[in-house]
Amino acid sequence: MDLSVFGRGLVIGFAIAAPVGPIGVLCINRTLAYGRLAGLFSGLGAATADAIYGVVAGFGLTLISAILVEQIFWFRLVGGMFLIYLGVRTFLSKPAETAAAIQPQGLLKVYASTVFLTLTNPATILAFGFIFAGLGLAAAEGDHVAAIWTVFGVFLGSAAWWLLLSSGVSLLQTRLTARHLRWLNRGSGTILAAFGIVALLSSAQG
């Protein structure tokens, strides 16, 4: 195992996950509504999608990459509509003063929905492709072992960010009043819907 390759994968995964976008907002909202575990499973869904794109970039699967890029219009359209739906539902939802219990099937649902939502942005594959190529991490000359450790590092790095985020939000929850939560729901819903509208506009322009 090449620790330097694994370490670079960790950094890439953490750096790609850290910017607060629609998935970050969704993770925060779910943590407040259903608890830290729900927020973490949402983040793990995003980390899984990042790992999938890491596999495509790391192993140079040009056919899959080309299909994703060619179908970017539909991905953005479906993803945008889903974000708007989540945004409206979040905006209108009544905030809970304490996190509601969530069953195992509920955790699977939040995980799967986040995987789907993250995968609807196939442009991410381009980012991974440029990063992997620039750092010399793509599988070359059959060096698939290095690519595997890189992808594993990407997953763990991304998962580490989501663990930190969900844990931090969970700790802050006790300081939030019902009024704070109500405005947070409205703000989160507006942001999610705005990301969805941007995705729809991008698909229309494309």
Mean pLDDT, consecutive 10-residue stretches, the chain (206 aa), reads: 77 80 86 88 92 81 68 78 84 65 79 90 70 61 70 90 90 74 80 83 73
Residue pair 165/20 in contact (Cβ under 8 Å)? The answer is no
DSSP string, 40-107: HHHHHHHHHHHHHHHHHHHTT-HHHHHHHHHTHHHHHHHHHHHHHHHHHHHHHSPPPSSPPP--HHHH
Q: How far apart are CA 174 and CA 162, in angstroms?
A: 20
Q: How far apart are CA 52 and CA 113, in angstroms?
A: 15
- pTM for this structure? 0.75
Residue with tokens 């109500």: 182
Q: How far apart are CA 89 and CA 174, in angstroms?
A: 24
pLDDT of residue 102: 67
